[in-house]
Amino acid sequence: MNFVSDNQAGAHEAVLAALQNANTGNSPGYGEDDLTAAAENAVGAVFETDCDVFFVTTGTAANALAMSALCPPWGAIYCHEGAHIQNDENTAVELLTGGARMVPIAGEGGKPDPELMRVHMTTATVHGVHNARPGAISLSNVSESGTVYRPNDLAPYRALADEFQLALHVDGARFANAVVASKASPADLTWRAGVDCLSFGLTKDGGIAAEAVVIFNGGMAEQFAYRRKRAGHLWSKQRFLAAQWLALLEDDLWLTNASHANEMARRLATGFSAHPDIDLPWPVDANELFPVIPGSIRETLRAEGLEFYDWPAQPDMTRFVTHYETDSEDIARALEIIAGARVA
Amino acid sequence: MNFVSDNQAGAHEAVLAALQNANTGNSPGYGEDDLTAAAENAVGAVFETDCDVFFVTTGTAANALAMSALCPPWGAIYCHEGAHIQNDENTAVELLTGGARMVPIAGEGGKPDPELMRVHMTTATVHGVHNARPGAISLSNVSESGTVYRPNDLAPYRALADEFQLALHVDGARFANAVVASKASPADLTWRAGVDCLSFGLTKDGGIAAEAVVIFNGGMAEQFAYRRKRAGHLWSKQRFLAAQWLALLEDDLWLTNASHANEMARRLATGFSAHPDIDLPWPVDANELFPVIPGSIRETLRAEGLEFYDWPAQPDMTRFVTHYETDSEDIARALEIIAGARVA
Amino acid sequence: MNFVSDNQAGAHEAVLAALQNANTGNSPGYGEDDLTAAAENAVGAVFETDCDVFFVTTGTAANALAMSALCPPWGAIYCHEGAHIQNDENTAVELLTGGARMVPIAGEGGKPDPELMRVHMTTATVHGVHNARPGAISLSNVSESGTVYRPNDLAPYRALADEFQLALHVDGARFANAVVASKASPADLTWRAGVDCLSFGLTKDGGIAAEAVVIFNGGMAEQFAYRRKRAGHLWSKQRFLAAQWLALLEDDLWLTNASHANEMARRLATGFSAHPDIDLPWPVDANELFPVIPGSIRETLRAEGLEFYDWPAQPDMTRFVTHYETDSEDIARALEIIAGARVA
Amino acid sequence: MNFVSDNQAGAHEAVLAALQNANTGNSPGYGEDDLTAAAENAVGAVFETDCDVFFVTTGTAANALAMSALCPPWGAIYCHEGAHIQNDENTAVELLTGGARMVPIAGEGGKPDPELMRVHMTTATVHGVHNARPGAISLSNVSESGTVYRPNDLAPYRALADEFQLALHVDGARFANAVVASKASPADLTWRAGVDCLSFGLTKDGGIAAEAVVIFNGGMAEQFAYRRKRAGHLWSKQRFLAAQWLALLEDDLWLTNASHANEMARRLATGFSAHPDIDLPWPVDANELFPVIPGSIRETLRAEGLEFYDWPAQPDMTRFVTHYETDSEDIARALEIIAGARVA
């Protein structure tokens, strides 16, 4: 019963079949092929708007390249102190932006406190060239604490972006789960809420390596193709990237996959909540759970075959992640084990 | 009859089958899986030595990351003036090295003239901090003119590398074709000839996105993992990169593929050589041909269905590339067409 | 009565006289002149050791270049959250290191809490390539809160540096004031306490533009000359930089200047401490004071001609700085004004 | 008799006097002082236009920062293959632009051939993201061969800049000498001829460290202040930079100095031209001469006390440079020695 991470999942069969189908003789390289054009259009259709779509291979590449387009090298990027872009992507942002500054911001449930952000931005603005200039806000939806922003939740950040003339980015490594959880349309969760750019990831949702930078603000897209190329992220056989996207977007497979993952998480959450000695500090909006579990119970769970991370944010905190191929029978078994575990 | 580029080919069936086989439930992410370890070992076995192997997605990433490990940010990188790393990879080297300087060197048949290199290196050394310090030599084997270095051909470059204490790199985007053409072992073509680092590419040889940086000089491998990560080139589902390598290395499929490509090119070369109005200025060592073809014949060839590039290095020069799935009947047909084409 | 900043002072007469004396016909450029050699030796003599000395023009250049020598591009740099290198030097560190990560650490009196540092370093180490690797600690002596480290105070940071194999840097923009305040020798305050590299600034102490990077750890000095050159910080007429150093080091003028500045601050501190409504939260070790002054008193002081900064670290906090040419009669007058000011 | 370089000269007395005069008590730091504003205005007056002026310390800083404002990180910068920015400033351009590509272009007398430039630009444009995008042209006036561009000479480069939508930069490390030699106004030599940005250097013309980036194209000036700061090139006591400019611009001292230097070079040129065994391949437009002198004569000249560089561009080539304080009696003596030297 593996709940370690959704990036430990395999690839959806439809994705592998699509690779097979894409393998039809010669094709133009470097993204000038028909499948790439079709996949870019398919992403545009998801968002009901014209937008610029750039496929890449990893979430780190998507985030750092997005930042390079949104923020000048002397800019500050504000994100939650626990965000993936801050803690799990080494110094990719610094490298690809040419040296922008990360500014981690505290906040409940994985969401940076807008008022704290405001203080930082104001100070930096007053300080002129001496400080990094406010450049971009990066939120994660789903957040690194498993919580989800609904469209209205994005308003305070958009207001800051307007006030300080900076860009609003969303790291959507689990965007499918956020869409399902929020019941909002992809458009409402992004550009209609003032998001300038989305890192849209389907790797965790059934792809092999399926990430995209989606730019809603045309001015920011200018020259992005150069950025992707010089970072080594333009595939020669780009159609094999595009094919994954077409497979996952077809018939909303991406949402079906995410719905399953979220439902599996919901069931697990019920089990944790019902346990007298286990606490769930943050709402389980999507497919991640962060139960606080006493050490002796953790040992029992592991002895019974449950795999999960210890999470450094709080003492005794753990992380469980479900995904598109999490087995509902595994969940049922896990729930029994959880229910039966007692503090030693 | 498409002879435009070997990166316009599809993927070998064995590669797609390997992806399918790799798709077996949960697996550790970020290269900590068994397939990655197995593939790294398999590459080591090819070279009959301990070496450090880092899988990446594109040749541009492999080359620029290799340079970042071999050359300091204030270093000069010497390569042929027609090299891919110089002309076709934007400013990836500058980005990933932190600003090293490319120094293009002229030379016959895609091979930089060692004496010219020496002049540049001497001047730079005398000039101290004012000039970029000699940092690395990058050769392409197969070269950008389709010629191949045999082990002895590498000696003058290694001598320069020793004299100026710099690193020797080989861009092996078509390394399989070079191995087949030279009849030398991979070890003899690399570390035994003093090569410190190889960009080893199998994308053009049947992969989807199968490139590797192979470092023979342990000291240079230090911290490479950090470089790959911060450039966004560490896949979460790394096993799908590794699986391609295992498939192509198994039973020397990579060499079988390259042998076919080289043989197809050899046949085409025969046809071009036999034609009274077509010149082949460089030896056809591997799977690329650069025939100089009068304009009216080019028109005829295209009218008859041959696809190929015009090549900017000389007037009337063209480029034809064969690959692992080039059809021998296509070649036969092309030979007939070539034989029958006449200057208008 | 200007107490705004010690960089608003002019230059000491001895410095201007030294420029005049250095102006004697032709001289080799780019630091190959005799004055530069003499000044480098003079700095070495101050520290009673062989060390590598690189003169530059600004403290920002000194700090960021020092970081580039001490910390890899994927490294983390730990400093106090209020440090100049963190808040007042834009993104110079990111630019000149090639993208290292700044990690601000809280702590009393401008000194980062070693235990908090330790938590960050441990987490980063466990997290491997995913996080910035611990690379360097940067302390400011005098700190940004006007406090001073004595040699023993540096021990916990050196212990961390040893444990995590990273470098220890001191930003000595006011190093003269720290030497005077601590009564420790320059050697005891640096390399004997395990400091690998010092940004040694005399601009605030009577120079025009007199900063130096002093590297005590030979291995780290390698190639620093290339770093300085490519950042545009090697003067052609370098002797005019060196002359400033010789003037200020001669007969310990730098310490005489700093003694005066510290004494002027001590007197001011007495006045603030004696006032019933003014608080001095941090010890006044050197030439900076951060009194917390009620708004109506601040207005009175300004109306009477005192110039000083409001300081954002706390409500009602201000900053007063004295320097080598602060007039003792100004101090006497200021003390009277302070003593007479009352909350409205 | 030192003819090695104009940066081996000292500083003009008026400059040192200006530093003394600037040393009047406290003054706002970081360029917010009155002298800086006055000096910026004085530079504007020289060019008879509104322009943005940023004082820095070295020509390398001026050039590389200028490039960072004119050219994107994925851009190509075209300059003469012998230009200072290409050969004598290490990899400063790569560092401060974030990785732009230098493209050296051959050409007579230190001036890059516009037709060769055109070929490179066309190829790069056709090649799209795969090649560095044409970004900027950088000319040196005076050129590295001592020749001068008159306003009309700039037209072909401006035409290329318009055609490929790139920026035109002039490295004016010896701009004063070019103004004097060309008899054109500073405005005619720059913005009226389509120059977007000038590196304006007075260090060689009597300053200590007096360089400026002058931006005529407002759009390019945006955010330059951030670039200067993060490169460590904003002095805290900026007035001491500004004072040098005011002194040199007052009563056209900068042109008087350059006139003297040019006249001294002219006299030397007469002597070289008259010598039967010495060749002057390039016109001596300004204050640099590149006579080709047989080895035995070189020995004689040196034995008689003449100091000069051997120049690597051609066998037997040398470089002589005069400057604002070159002694006319030294010239007279040198002319005698040259006239009397014979091939051994």
pLDDT band at D44 (very low <50, low <70, confident <90, very high): very high
Q: Chains that contact D by 3+ CB pairs under 8 Å?
A: A, B, C
- Three-state SS string over A80-93 comes to ECCCHHHHCCCCHH
* DSSP labels, C23-34: --S---STT-SH
pLDDT band at D312 (very low <50, low <70, confident <90, very high): confident
- With beta carbons less than 8 A apart as the criterion, state whether A161 and A167 touch: yes
pLDDT band at D45 (very low <50, low <70, confident <90, very high): very high
SS3 A303: helix
B226 near A CB under 8 A: yes
Q: How far apart are CA B112 and CA B133, in angstroms?
A: 19
Q: Sheet containing C197-201: give its strands across.
A: C52-56, C211-215, C197-201, C167-172, C133-140, C75-80, C101-105
The model's pLDDT over D10-25, given as tens digits with 9 standing for 90+, comes to 999 999 999 999 998 8
pLDDT value at residue A268: 97
- Three-state SS string over chain B comes to CECCCHHHCCCCHHHHHHHHHHCCCCCCCCCCCHHHHHHHHHHHHHHCCCCEEEEECCHHHHHHHHHHHHCCCCEEEEEECCCHHHHCCCCHHHHHHCCCEEEEECCHHHCCCHHHHHHHHHHHHHCHHHCCEEEEEEEECCCCCCCCCCHHHHHHHHHHHHHCCCEEEEEECCHHHHHHHHCCCHHHHCHHHCCCEEEEECHHHCCCCCEEEEECCHHHHCCHHHHHHHCCCCCCCCHHHHHHHHHHHHHHHHHHHHHHHHHHHHHHHHHHHHCCCCECCCCCCCCEECCECCHHHHHHHHHCCCECEECCCCCCEEEEECCCCCCHHHHHHHHHHHHHCCCC
Q: How far apart are CA A7 and CA A19, in angstroms?
A: 19
Helices D239-249 and D34-47, axial angle in degrees (round to 10): 40
Regarding beta strands A75-80 and A101-105, do their DSSP bridges make them parallel or antiparallel, or are they unpaired? parallel
* DSSP labels, A45-73: HHHTS--EEEEES-HHHHHHHHHHHHS-T
Q: Are B100 and D91 a contacting pair at CB < 8 A?
A: yes
Give me the residue label for tokens 């990933």. Answer: B96
Name the minimum distance, in Å, from the CA of A293 to any CA of chain B: 23
Q: Are D60 and C29 a contacting pair at CB < 8 A?
A: no
Q: Facing residues of B10 across strands?
A: none
A236 near D CB under 8 A: no
Q: Are A73 and D98 a contacting pair at CB < 8 A?
A: yes
Contacts of B234 in chain C (CB under 8 A): 129
> CA separation (Å) from D172 to D46, D186, D202?
14, 11, 9
Helices A328-340 and A295-303, axial angle in degrees (round to 10): 140
| Statement: residue B222 has pLDDT above 80 | no
D225 near A CB under 8 A: yes
Name the minimum distance, in Å, from the CA of C201 to any CA of chain D: 12
C303 residue type, one letter: A
pLDDT value at residue D217: 85
Q: Are C133 and B230 a contacting pair at CB < 8 A?
A: no
Q: Chains that contact A by 3+ CB pairs under 8 Å?
A: B, C, D
Helix (H) or strand (E) holding A19: helix A13-22
pLDDT value at residue A90: 97
Among the partner-chain residues D30, D133, D230, the one whose CB lies closest to the CB of A226 is: D133
Q: How far apart are CA C254 and CA C42, in angstroms?
A: 12
What is the mean predicted confidence (pLDDT) over D179-186? 98
Taking a contact as any Cβ pair under 8 Å apart, which residues of chain D between 237 and 296 contact chain A? none
> CA separation (Å) from D313 to A317, B119, D319?
69, 12, 10
pLDDT value at residue A253: 98
What b-and-e string marks burial along C161-185, b requiring 16 or more CB atoms within 10 Å of the CB?
A: beebebbbbbbbbbbbbbbbbbebe
| Statement: residue B231 has pLDDT above 90 | yes
The model's pLDDT over A210-261, given as tens digits with 9 standing for 90+, comes to 999 999 988 777 799 999 999 999 999 999 999 999 999 999 999 999 999 9
Name the minimum distance, in Å, from the CA of C326 to any CA of chain D: 9
The model's pLDDT over C100-117, given as tens digits with 9 standing for 90+, comes to 999 999 999 999 999 999
| Statement: residue C219 has pLDDT above 80 | no
Which of C208, C228, C238, C239 to mutate against chain D (most D CBs within 10 Å)? C208
Q: Are B91 and A60 a contacting pair at CB < 8 A?
A: no
The model's pLDDT over C61-99, given as tens digits with 9 standing for 90+, comes to 999 999 999 999 999 999 999 999 999 999 999 999 999
Q: Number of CB pairs < 8 Å for B and C?
A: 43
B165 near C CB under 8 A: no
Q: Are B74 and D89 a contacting pair at CB < 8 A?
A: no
Residue of D nearest to A96 (CA): D98
What is the mean predicted confidence (pLDDT) over D202-211? 97
Contacts of D106 in chain B (CB under 8 A): none
pLDDT value at residue A202: 98
Q: Sheet containing B309-310: give its strands across.
A: B288-289, B318-321, B309-310
Q: What ranges in chain D are assigned the alpha helix state H?
A: 13-22, 34-47, 59-70, 84-87, 92-97, 114-126, 155-163, 175-182, 218-221, 224-230, 239-249, 253-274, 295-303, 328-340
How many residues are present in chain B? 344
Residue of C nearest to A88 (CA): C130
- Six token digits for residue A267: 């069931």
Taking a contact as any Cβ pair under 8 Å apart, which residues of chain A between 96 and 115 contact chain B? 96
Percent of chain C at pLDDT > 70 equals: 100
Residue of B nearest to D83 (CA): B131
| Statement: residue C22 has pLDDT above 80 | yes
> CA separation (Å) from A333 to A12, A115, A234, A301?
24, 44, 44, 11
* C340 φ/ψ angles, rounded to the nearest 5 degrees: -90, -10
- With beta carbons less than 8 A apart as the criterion, state whether B224 and B52 touch: yes
Name the minimum distance, in Å, from the CA of B91 to any CA of chain D: 6
SS3 C282: coil
Q: How far apart are CA A317 and CA A310, in angstroms?
A: 6
Q: Are B123 and D95 a contacting pair at CB < 8 A?
A: no
Helices B239-249 and B13-22, axial angle in degrees (round to 10): 140
pLDDT value at residue C217: 85
Q: Are D130 and B312 a contacting pair at CB < 8 A?
A: no
The model's pLDDT over C251-304, given as tens digits with 9 standing for 90+, comes to 999 999 999 999 999 999 999 999 999 999 999 999 999 999 999 999 999 999
Regarding beta strands D318-321 and D309-310, do their DSSP bridges make them parallel or antiparallel, or are they unpaired? antiparallel
Q: Which of D120, D33, D43 is nearest to D79 (CA)?
A: D120
* D97 φ/ψ angles, rounded to the nearest 5 degrees: -85, -15
pLDDT value at residue C193: 98
Give the CA angle between residues A38, A44, A50 to the nearest 5°: 120
pLDDT band at B39 (very low <50, low <70, confident <90, very high): very high
The model's pLDDT over B123-160, given as tens digits with 9 standing for 90+, comes to 999 999 999 999 999 999 999 999 999 999 999 999 99
Which of B94, B165, B226 to mutate against chain C (most C CBs within 10 Å)? B226
B61 near A CB under 8 A: yes
> CA separation (Å) from D25 to C6, C7, C58, C59?
11, 11, 20, 21
The model's pLDDT over C322-340, given as tens digits with 9 standing for 90+, comes to 999 999 999 999 999 999 9
SS3 C298: helix
- With beta carbons less than 8 A apart as the criterion, state whether B269 and B290 touch: no
Q: HSE of D123 in the Cβ direction (CA atoms, 13 Å)?
A: 19
D108 residue type, one letter: E
Q: Are A11 and B61 a contacting pair at CB < 8 A?
A: no
- With beta carbons less than 8 A apart as the criterion, state whether C40 and C215 touch: no
Among the partner-chain residues A22, A28, A231, the one whose CB lies closest to the CB of B231 is: A231
Q: Are A90 and C123 a contacting pair at CB < 8 A?
A: no
C81 residue type, one letter: E
Instruction: For residue D303, count CB atoms less than 10 angstroms from its CB and return exposed for 0-12, middle for 13-18, buried for 19 or more.
Output: exposed
A58 near C CB under 8 A: no
Q: Which of C206, C26, C33 is nearest to D11 (CA)?
A: C26
Which of A54, A226, A229, A233 to mutate against chain D (most D CBs within 10 Å)? A226
A91 near C CB under 8 A: yes
| Averaged pLDDT of chain B | 96
Give the CA angle between residues D217, D223, D227 to the nearest 5°: 110
Name the minimum distance, in Å, from the CA of B179 to any CA of chain A: 22
Q: How far apart are CA C291 and CA A161, in angstroms?
A: 35
> CA separation (Å) from B323 to A26, A185, A240, B335?
10, 45, 18, 17
The model's pLDDT over D136-148, given as tens digits with 9 standing for 90+, comes to 999 999 999 999 9
- With beta carbons less than 8 A apart as the criterion, state whether A15 and A207 touch: yes
| Averaged pLDDT of chain D | 96
Q: What ranges in chain C are assigned the alpha helix state H?
A: 13-22, 34-47, 59-70, 84-87, 92-97, 114-126, 155-164, 175-182, 218-221, 224-230, 239-249, 253-274, 295-303, 328-340
Among the partner-chain residues A74, A88, A94, the one whose CB lies closest to the CB of C99 is: A94
Q: Which of B111, B194, A176, B94 is nearest to D75 (CA)?
A: B94
D7 near B CB under 8 A: no
| Statement: residue D328 has pLDDT above 90 | yes
Helices D253-274 and D175-182, axial angle in degrees (round to 10): 70
SS3 C318: strand
pLDDT value at residue D264: 97
Q: How far apart are CA B59 and CA B62, in angstroms?
A: 5
Among the partner-chain residues B16, B90, B236, the one whose CB lies closest to the CB of A203 is: B236
Q: Is the whole-model pTM more than 0.80?
A: yes
SS3 C22: helix
Q: Are D129 and A234 a contacting pair at CB < 8 A?
A: yes
The model's pLDDT over B235-267, given as tens digits with 9 standing for 90+, comes to 999 999 999 999 999 999 999 999 999 999 999
Q: Which parts of chain A sit beneath pLDDT 70?
A: none
Helix (H) or strand (E) holding A138: strand A133-140
B14 near C CB under 8 A: no
Q: How far apart are CA B248 and CA C289, in angstroms?
A: 69
- Cα dihedral B237, B238, B244, B247 sign: negative
Neighbours of A212 (CB within 10 A): 23
